Amino acid sequence: MKAVDMLCFHTSNGILHPVRFKWVEADGTEHVVHIDRVLTVGDEKFAGNPMRVFAVQSCIDKVDHRFEMKYETKSGVWYLSRM
C-alpha cells in the first residue's frame, strides 16, 4: 500500500466521496488520477485499524482502470491498495 494525496468531499451525513488522487513515484514523477465512478464501498480491518475500502474506476487514455483505495479512519490517511 502506498499513501496518496486525495481530494474528496463529505456529505452532510458524513459519507465520503473520493474525487481524485495523486501519488509520487520514487523518481519524482507525479500522477494525478480523476475518479470517474465509485464501484463498491466496504469496511475492513488492516493490522487492527478500521479502514473504509473503495473500489473505483477511472478512464485514462480512453481505457478504464480500476483501483482500490483505502481510508484509515483513525488517522485520516488515504492509501492506494491495488492498481
Residue 48 confidence (pLDDT) above 80: yes
Please state the length of the chain.
83
Which are the contacts of 49, defined by CB distance < 8 A and separation ≥ 6? 72, 73, 74, 75
* Average pLDDT of the chain to the nearest whole number: 91
pLDDT tens digit string along 11-32?
A: 999 889 999 999 888 898 998 9
Distance CA 42, CA 51 (A): 8
pLDDT value at position 70?
A: 94
Residue 46 — pLDDT band, cuts 50, 70, 90?
confident
Task: Specify the number of domains making up the chain.
Answer: 1
pLDDT of residue 25: 86
| pTM for the structure as a whole | 0.85
Domain that holds residue 17: 2-82
Check pLDDT > 80 for residue 83: no
